Amino acid sequence: MDAFRKGLRWVFLTVEGWLDLCFPERWNPLRNLGALGFFYLWVVTVSGIYVYIFYDTGAAEAYLSVEAMTHEQRYAGGIMRSLHRYASDGMVLFMAVHTLRELAFDRYRGPRWFTWVTGVPIMALVFVCGITGYWLVWDKLAQYVAIATAEWLDVLPIFGSPIARNFLTPQNLEPRFFTLLMFLHIAVPLILLLVLWIHLQRVSRPRMHAPRGLAMGSFAMLLALSLVKPALSQGPADLGQVPSVVGLDWFYLVLYPLIDVWSPQGMWGVLGALLLMLTALPWMPPMRRAPPALVGLDNCNGCTRCAVDCPMAAITMAPRSDGKPFEREAVVDPDLCVSCGLCAGACPTATPVRRVSAFVPGIDLQHLPLRDVRESFDRAGERLRGEGRVLVIGCDQSLRVRDLERDGVAAVSLPCIGMLPPSFIDYALSRGIADGVLVTGCRPGDCQCRLGVEWTEARLAGTRDPRLRDRVPRERVAVHWAAATERRDLERAVAGFAARLRGLEGASAAQHAAAARRAGGRG
Amino acid sequence: MARVLRWLGQAVAYGLTALLIGYLADSPPYVHLAPDRALIKLAFAHGAVRNEGCRRRTAEELERLAPNMRRQVVCPRTRVPVLIELELDGRILHRASLPPTGLSGDGPSRIYERFPVAPGRHRIVARLNDTGRAAGFDYERAADVDLRPGQSFAVDFRAEAGGLVFR
Ligand code: HEM
Ligand code: SF4
Ligand code: SF4
């Protein structure tokens, strides 16, 4: 499983790298897969409402109404029908890639099991939507789908008379059958929406909206495809005639040939095994988890920043329990916590320059408290020599920054770059630990802990608390995001930064720090 | 220049996605039944007569039961199996004894079978036994049909229509 994930991850990062060459960083489709899924769902919904208006139920009416829509109003109904079909296909495509990606990046186990497991019924529901949709057209493909589905359902011992018998001859087919189908085709998507809502209950600030440029591009693509290859029916259904050769929609009907190849029972077996395996995956094997974040009430003032910044909605603010004169206190739900440290990076009490000998912020990681991080900063400073000394601060989720170490370059790795309180950068520069600090981590939109990169950028830009203080010389702080496959790129960035630092006036940060101290202490 | 190349790259990415979606939306075609074959479908749900009468358990039978279960007389509601035979041009195509469905064996017997055959003239005979009689059949229907390629020919059973139905 480990090797499989690694390989898959490498494929993703490589293709993502290609796409980064032509898409703006934040538009990269592979970093917006969930949002793209939603985008396609919206296109399906709007086009579906239009198509529904012109659809008639009934064995003869269904086919004729779809034909009329397709040909008599080619540039309205015809396009809408095509959009409905292709956006549905796109949804399956992006859902599949989204699922593979969460798998590849190990975002399906541990506290994330809930989001993964709720994804499984989503998959099933999407397929039911597509299958009933193709059925409604009542062309030859619909006939094939109807009969195959009926034969498939009939092996379940729940129906008295085989459903497939309804499709033996036209006389057997009842008009209210289409009313039932139409009902299913509307009700199941509504259930799908509900389950999607549940899917995102444990994701704090889910990215549900594709960036505008990506949405426009995707829509233009669907529109172009609809014009070049309008969705067509495959001739009216004729129950006296077997639909021998059909143009299958392989996105939705990929399992159907198995009914013929094996048997309906075989197909149930495959499907059951597949769903069972997907559901059990988060525990095969379960994730080895670091201990959850720990609140130190002595230092927590109930400011809520950690709760707001937590990517897993793992922190709630509870009424104060220790008698301190604050209204609330942070409480961590250990079942939801992924031990990313974003909360520690957000806490206003996480300032390393505090002289308190026992440096304990309001919230901290048990396996890597910020006190240890400060110590590793100090040790990194001892390793650094020469001019243009760079301290690289990276994260365990992306490439191993320790591999970048050499003369003049030292590195410290955190569970997520979002754990870094900006005051630590100040600390490194003002104590003369390094001449410059380079911050790196997963690429934007790709943060393993979802929000770490976003929060770091905002904190450094001074738009989000805790902010990087104004007195920190910005020319000594660099940010360069890099995926695990972009080591050479990062090495070049570090070398370039070191060269810039050497060129700076009063080259060493220690001199700058001394000047700052003379000018007004630590403030 | 770099800008144009980037736009071009995006266009290629969208183009490839559109190609994938557009192609797999209806291709490659799936051959469900070879175009030069016809199909005979045998499908119905029909309940045979019930096992009749109550009977007295033998002494050995009673011996094997738990003491609190030793009822002398048993009256099963189960149905007998339906026997179906389908003959094509004098050859038996399918013969089956269809057990009743339902947990207590009192539901209808069901069958759904498909037989791809060569098109052309055929003599089709269907026979059905739903009374558990030891020999012979309760229903029989025969027909000479000319099957077109791709034709779907149904063999059904409808008690209300007088028995076996060909369509
Ligand atoms: C069309 C169907 C689906 C849509 C629209 C959808 C949408 C989303 C969205 C918007 C997110 C949040 C992404 C973020 O903000 O980082 C998400 C997360 C996730 N999805 Fe889906 N999803 C779908 C189907 C699935 C399926 C089938 C699975 C797997 C069985 C799945 C597994 C996950 C997981 C594990 C996460 C959590 C990521 C994390 O916690 O970092 N999703 N999904
Ligand atoms: S470590 Fe991460 S997931 Fe856990 S409480 Fe802190 S911010 Fe939330
Ligand atoms: S950020 Fe720190 S001080 Fe604020 S609520 Fe969280 S633990 Fe308490």
* Domain ranges, ordered by start, for chain B: 1-30, 33-49+80-166
Indicate the angle between helix axes A176-199 and A113-136, nearest 10 degrees: 160
Instruction: State the average pLDDT for chain A.
Output: 90
| pLDDT band of A518, cuts 50, 70, 90 | low
Report the pLDDT value the prediction gives residue A521, as an integer from 0 to 100.
43
Check CB contact of B166 with chain A, cutoff 8 Å.
no
For residue B52, the 8-state DSSP code is P
Average pLDDT over residues B5-20: 96
* Ligand 1 centroid distance, CA of A98 (Å): 7
**Rounded distance from Cα A338 to ligand 2 centre (Å):** 6
Interfacial B residues in 48-77 facing A (CB < 8 Å): none
On whether the CB atoms of residues A31 and A446 are closer than 8 A, the answer is yes
Among the bound ligands, name the one nearest to the CA of residue A452. 2
In chain A, domain spans: 2-283, 294-512
Token code pair at residue A298: 């002595």
What's the burial of B96, exposed, middle or buried (CB within 10 Å: 0-12/13-18/19+)?
middle
**Is the Cβ atom of A427 under 6 angstroms away from ligand 1?**
no
Digit-coded pLDDT (tens) for B91-118: 999 998 888 887 777 788 888 888 999 9
CATH of B33-49+80-166, one of 3.40.50, 2.40.160, 3.30.450, 2.60.40: 2.60.40
Contact state of A160 with B43 under an 8 Å Cβ cutoff: no
Contact at 8 Å (CB) between A22 and A66? no
> Which atom belonging to ligand 1 lies closest to the Cα atom of A112?
40
Output the pLDDT for position A33: 96
**B117 contacts in A (CB within 8 Å)?**
none
Q: Is B118 on the interface with A (CB under 8 A)?
A: no
Q: Name the residue with the closest Cα to ligand 2, atom 4.
A: A337
* B31-75 confidence digits (pLDDT tens): 988 888 898 988 888 888 887 767 778 888 888 888 887 777 777
Give the closest ligand to the alpha carbon of residue A39.
Answer: 1
Determine whether the interchain pair B32/A21 forms a contact, defined as Cβ–Cβ distance below 8 Å.
no
pLDDT tier at A250, thresholds 50, 70, 90: very high
Q: How confident is the model at residue B8 (pLDDT cuts 50, 70, 90)?
A: very high
Q: How does residue A91 score in pLDDT terms, banded at 50, 70 and 90?
A: very high
Minimum CA–CA partner of B10 in chain A = A22
Question: Do B25 and A85 lie within an 8 Å CB cutoff?
Answer: yes
Q: Is the pLDDT of residue A417 over 60?
A: yes
Measured in degrees and rounded to the nearest 5, phi and psi for residue A156 equal -75, 135
The reported pLDDT for the residue numbered A522 is 42
pTM: 0.87
State pLDDT tens for residues A271-329.
999 999 999 999 998 888 899 999 999 889 999 999 999 999 999 999 999 888 899 99
Section A46-56 average pLDDT: 94
Least confident of A173-182, A439-448, B45-54: B45-54
Q: What is the pLDDT of residue A523?
A: 36
Residue whose CA is at the smallest distance from ligand 3 atom 6: A306
Alpha helices, DSSP H, located in A384-472: 423-430, 452-461
CB contact under 8 A, B29 and A144: no
Asked if pLDDT for residue B76 goes beyond 80, the answer is no
Higher pLDDT, B19 or A240: B19
- Mean pLDDT is lowest, of A270-279, A348-357, B80-89, for A348-357
d(CA A85, nearest CA chain B) in Å: 8
pLDDT tens by residue, A119-137: 999 999 999 999 999 999 9
Angle at A223 between CA A220 and CA A224, to 5 degrees: 85
Which ligand 3 atom is at minimum distance from the Cα of A296?
7
Please report, for residues B55, B68, B73, the alpha-carbon distance to residue B62 in angstroms, rounded to integers and kept in the order given.
13, 10, 10
ipTM reported for the complex surpasses 0.85: yes
Q: What angle do CA A289, A295, A296 make, to 5 degrees?
A: 135
Which of A242, A250, A256 should we substitute to test contact with B (largest number of B Cβ atoms within 10 Å)?
A242
Cα-Cα-Cα-Cα torsion A426, A430, A436, A442, nearest 10 degrees, comes to -20
Residue A17 has pLDDT above 60, yes or no: yes
Q: How far apart are CA A149 and CA A151, in angstroms?
A: 5
- Share above pLDDT 90 across residues of chain A, in percent, rounded to a whole number: 71
Choice between A236 and A171, residue whose per-residue pLDDT is larger: A236
Task: Write down the CATH superfamily of domain A2-283.
Answer: Cytochrome Bc1 Complex; Chain C (1.20.810.10)
